[in-house]
Amino acid sequence: MRKKYFKVMLAVFFLVLCMLGTTACSSKESEDSGVIGKGKRIFEETISPNKDYVENEKDVVYHTVEIYQNSDNVIIVTSKSTSAFFKPLQYEVESDTSITKSDIDVEWTTSMGNPDPTKEDQLHIACVSVSQNGKLLDKRKINFANGAFEIIEDVIESK
């Protein structure tokens, strides 16, 4: 029991350390999300969770959500980041007709679920909602710190 508790506490410690590390880690170049024939761009939003907390411009991290719709009305949601802790994500949402920017809603929160970030609790979650004619088609959360969780899992599994 004590050993399991120690592993969980160690995992939580590394998660917090990784989250705080995004303010001090150098950012990597943004990679292409790999979407071929994306279609028409409907929406794009980029935020920086740490720009107010770093001294050097090269340490600023950017998270981006882009939404496209192709000629078959398939909606393609992509996300990318300059953070070393994020692996680009892409998924598709089926649709019968075209959507517009007003059909998209992205709400940013911190890892702890707060809409108001602090230096210790920065924005890392994008809740992406896609609607069509007022009807919700899809709602998903994108975790821009997903790589940090993999590091924690590797640590736990190695013990």
Q: Within 10 A of 153 (CB to CB), how many other CB atoms are there? A: 12
Backbone angles phi, psi at 8, to 5 degrees: -65, -45
C-alpha span between 1 and 123 (Å, rounded): 34
Q: Which stretch of DSSP H or E encloses residue 105?
A: strand 104-110
- In DSSP notation, 50-101 reads STTT-SSGGG---EEEEEEE-TT--EEEEEEES-TT---EEEEE--SS---G
What is the predicted pLDDT for the residue at 32?
42
HSE-up (13 A, CA, CB side) for residue 154: 6
- What does each of the 159 residues of the chain score in pLDDT, given as a tens digit? 555 544 544 454 444 434 434 433 333 333 344 455 679 999 999 999 999 999 999 999 999 999 999 999 999 999 999 998 888 999 999 999 999 999 999 999 998 999 999 999 999 999 999 999 899 999 999 999 876 444 444 445 665
Per-domain residue ranges of the chain: 2-158
Backbone angles phi, psi at 72, to 5 degrees: -95, 10
What is the predicted pLDDT for the residue at 131?
97
What is the predicted pLDDT for the residue at 38?
74
Beta bridge partners of 64: 46, 80
Beta bridge partners of 79: 65, 89
| 64: its two tokens | 């981006």
What is the predicted pLDDT for the residue at 146?
74
DSSP class of 44: E
77-80 long-range CB contacts below 8 Å, 24 or more apart? 77/128, 77/130, 77/140, 78/33, 78/35, 78/38, 79/33, 79/126, 79/142, 79/144, 80/30, 80/31, 80/33
